[in-house]
Amino acid sequence: MSRTHNPVSDLEPFFNPKSIAIIGASQNYVKPGGRPVNALQSKGYRGKVYPVNPSHESINGLKCYPSVLDVPGEVDLAVVSVVAGKVYQALEECVAKGVKAAVIFSSGFAEVGDDGLAEQRRITELARKSGLRILGPNCLGLVNTTNGVMASFAFIVDLPETAEEKVLGFVTQSGAFGAIIYASSLHRGVGFNYFVSVGNEADLEFADFVEYMVYDDKTKLIGGYLEGAKDGDKLRRVAEEALEAEKPVLILKVGRTVAGSRAAASHTGSLAGSDRVYDAFFKQTGIIRIDDYTELIAFTPLFQTGKMPRGKNTAIIATSGGAGVTMADLCESLGLNVIPLRAETREKMDRVLPFFASSRNPVDLTAAVMTRPGIVVDSLRAVCEDPEVDIVICNINLPFTAPGHPIIQEFIDIYRSTDKFVLLSPFVFPGAGMDPAILEILKAGVPTNPNTVIAIKAISILAEYSETLKKRKRPEYRVRPSKSPKPDLSGLLQPGETLSESRSKTVLEKYGIPVTREALAASADEAVEKAGQIGYPVVLKVDSPDIAHKTDAGALKLNLRDEGEVRSAFGEIVANARAYKPDARINGVLVQEMLPEGTEVIVGVSRDPVFGPVIMFGLGGIFVEVLKDVSFRVAPVSPGDARDMVEEIKGSALLRGVRGRPPADVESIVDVILKVSNLVSDYRDSIEELDINPLMVYPDGVKAADALIVVGREKPV
């Protein structure tokens, strides 16, 4: 990976400081300035700790200093826990002292209004000018459990570290909720090596700490709680680096139901809500979006096994028919394929199963396991030998099998010898613990989770991640820079303008996107002349930057077959347009070739405030608003992403040809998406919205029948 900076070195003072000063240190353990002093001492931090408070001589047996400037040695990290009005002065003293990094617990900044925001901006400016890196303000701080760095006042610093292996780094935009996730994970045996609460992100942000963890050898996977990204480009780069490093990033992104719509001239602008954009971005960059933190907790031990599912073909072995069918339904709903087992696989099981059991998938062992527990391992072995199976989920119990029983060891041996991903999800009676036999299997390293729903969700996430890793390594998923020089659009993209159809199509033509043959007419006589040159039948439509939807205005006439129809249509279109919007600027009437029947699709763009240009694809014409069957990706897109956009809409079946219609030219659609991606990447600060609707698709080629471009108010770059 080529890069201009090393994120591990840049953030090293936060995670591995040789000395820490607590500014605003307190003798009261429950206060934010008191808890880190105590935690640093009790959790084995080996560096120097300097309490700073002019009101105390010593704290917890440590000499206390009036100011950080009075500390005799170097300070790598400062923890700032003073009232908001004194934070800036404390930071100035940190800069004078040469402190490398600061964590600000203090609240009272952007979260409280304009005055607080102004003070926070001073902090941001200080960080930029001085090079002091800042976490916060208004944050719970940071924890590194591998070396005892407890730069936090959250209750989590008091929790005993019970997890045997700590490989999970976690970054959160919610302090309190993030701490609850930390505690819940620890309770279930999943340990964090790092916990970072980013607060108001005056300097460093969510993506900066994720990037540190991507490059950190101790971190094997990364979790996060995200309300909204600050810098979409940075998060995209970091996500791609995580994919290259094969480190899963699981994010609980909240705000699915927050209204993201706005008044927009284009169909794309009205359909691209912020949550749909996040969904598309995560899919495009390999970030795994989770709905609940329990999925992160369940996923971690599965990933720690070091095994990855080869595919999504799943076999279920259960001791209850009802449980097996329920699990099969859940698997299918989550993208796992509960496949028919091979005949030879079923024959192996039928030899040992009682006649009232079933060797179909899901396999139903029935209550016979109580008297014949050996059928569990016989069935598991048979299913693991089936070459079509990738994942085996066992919903079994062994209540009458004592610890050390040969069947237990046999189960473990099968798990260790197979390349299939085996997941054990036993039934546990409420209030009871796991069977001793299941506990023995768990201790041997077999992934085990009694919550079947969460267990299946976790394995589906792992299977999807495994598939994403394979897919994203293919060349077609790399963004290809344009081989042509950037076309000059300076005369076309005037700030704040909505381009008429003719001008919009001029822009598209400069990027090689096929458009209709057409000409602009200022009079009925000129329209007749142009129609004769183009060839009948023709289409007439008003050309105006102020009338985006011509059908609504009655300013569109199709299939005109002779001179008389053209003359009549011209006058009617102009009259209807003026009646619809009297102040509309009318450039004239466009005379276009009448395209033959084809499949109508839409390719559009809206500009997201976080991620920039976002491309949409879907069925075109009126269907885009009625059906809303669309897909999104953030520009720039790769050829693979463009093809995925086409394939993932429900209406993609229409493009493959139905009821005798020939298949549409999907490659030409992909080509248009890529050219639109180049256009809006080149002019990302200029183009606010873009619609090609409809883009007519044929068995061989495409043509843009209509187009609209809205230019942002900034001057084009």
Residue 692 near residue 616, CB atoms below 8 Å: no
Output the domain CATH number for residue 644. 3.30.470.20
Output the domain CATH number for residue 339. 3.40.50.261
For residue 645, is it within any domain?
Answer: yes
Residue 375 near residue 352, CB atoms below 8 Å: yes
Name the H helices within 22-174: 35-42, 84-97, 114-130
Q: Are residues 616 and 568 in the same domain?
A: no
Positive or negative, the Cα torsion across 614, 619, 620, 622? Answer: negative
Residue 120 near residue 88, CB atoms below 8 Å: no
Q: Are residues 559 and 606 in the same domain?
A: no
Residue 277 has pLDDT above 60, yes or no: yes
DSSP secondary-structure letter at 358?
B
For residue 348, is it within any domain?
Answer: yes
Confidence of residue 398 (pLDDT cuts 50, 70, 90): confident
Task: Give the model confidence (pLDDT) of 337-395 as tens digits.
Answer: 999 999 999 999 999 999 999 999 999 999 888 889 899 999 999 999 999 999 999 99
Distances (CA, A) of 460 to 269, 314, 336, 464, 669: 33, 10, 6, 6, 31
Residue 66 near residue 91, CB atoms below 8 Å: no
pLDDT at 371: 85
For residue 447, is it within any domain?
Answer: yes
For residue 436, is it within any domain?
Answer: yes
**Structure tokens given for 469:** 């890793």
Number of domains comprising the chain:
4
Q: Print the domain residue range for 586.
A: 517-593
Query: Given phi > 0 = left and psi -120 to 50 = alpha, else beta, which region is 113?
Result: left
Q: Are residues 637 and 654 in the same domain?
A: yes
Confidence of residue 257 (pLDDT cuts 50, 70, 90): low
Residue 551 near residue 576, CB atoms below 8 Å: no
Q: Are residues 607 and 569 in the same domain?
A: no
Q: Are residues 689 and 663 in the same domain?
A: yes
For residue 296, is it within any domain?
Answer: no
The 10 Å CB-count burial string (b at 16+, else e) for 399-409 is eebeeebebbe
For residue 508, is it within any domain?
Answer: no
Q: Work out the average pLDDT over 435-448.
A: 91
Output the domain CATH number for residue 54. 3.40.50.720
Output the domain CATH number for residue 524. 3.30.1490.20
Low-confidence winner among 24-33, 227-236, 303-312, 706-715 (lowest mean pLDDT): 706-715
Distance of CA 237 to the CA centre of its chain: 12
Residue 621 has pLDDT above 70, yes or no: no
Residue 593 has pLDDT above 70, yes or no: yes
Q: Are residues 543 and 452 in the same domain?
A: no
pLDDT at 657: 82
The owner of tokens 């209004």 is 113
> Rounded to an integer, what distance in angstroms lies between the CA atom of residue 185 and that of residue 183?
5
Q: Are residues 99 and 79 in the same domain?
A: yes
Q: Work out the average pLDDT over 443-449.
A: 94
The owner of tokens 């996977």 is 221
Element (H, E) at 674: helix 666-682
More confident residue, 499 or 620: 499
Confidence of residue 716 (pLDDT cuts 50, 70, 90): very low
Helix, strand or coil for residue 152?
A: strand
Q: Are residues 146 and 50 in the same domain?
A: yes
The 10 Å CB-count burial string (b at 16+, else e) for 99-126 is bbbbbbbbbbbbeeeeebeebbeebeeb
Positive or negative, the Cα torsion across 602, 605, 606, 608? Answer: positive
Task: Give the model confidence (pLDDT) of 192-211 as tens digits.
Answer: 999 999 999 999 999 999 99
**Percent of the chain beyond pLDDT 90?**
84
In terms of C-beta density within 10 A (0-12 exposed, 13-18 middle, 19 or more buried), how is residue 282 classed?
middle
Backbone φ, ψ for residue 147 (5° rounding): -140, 10
For residue 126, is it within any domain?
Answer: yes
Q: Work out the average pLDDT over 115-125.
A: 96
Residue 549 has pLDDT above 90, yes or no: no
pLDDT at 260: 38
Q: Are residues 102 and 153 in the same domain?
A: yes
User: Which of 472, 495, 526 finishes a domain?
Assistant: 472
Residue 220 has pLDDT above 90, yes or no: yes
Task: Give the model confidence (pLDDT) of 4-42 as tens digits.
Answer: 456 678 899 999 999 999 999 999 988 999 999 999 999
Q: Are residues 101 and 209 in the same domain?
A: yes
Instruction: Name which of 536, 520, 512 is nearest 702 in CA terms.
Output: 512
Q: How does the average pLDDT of the chain come out, rounded?
A: 92
Q: Are residues 84 and 36 in the same domain?
A: yes
Residue 206 near residue 226, CB atoms below 8 Å: yes
User: Which of 211, 239, 254 finishes a domain?
Assistant: 254
Q: Give the largest Cα separation in the chain, rounded.
A: 100
**Structure tokens given for 273:** 């809500």
Question: Would you state the torsion angle of the CA atoms of residues 104, 110, 115, 118, taken in this order, to the nearest 10 degrees?
Answer: 80
User: Which of 593, 619, 635 finishes a domain?
Assistant: 593
Q: Are residues 208 and 174 in the same domain?
A: yes
For residue 716, is it within any domain?
Answer: no
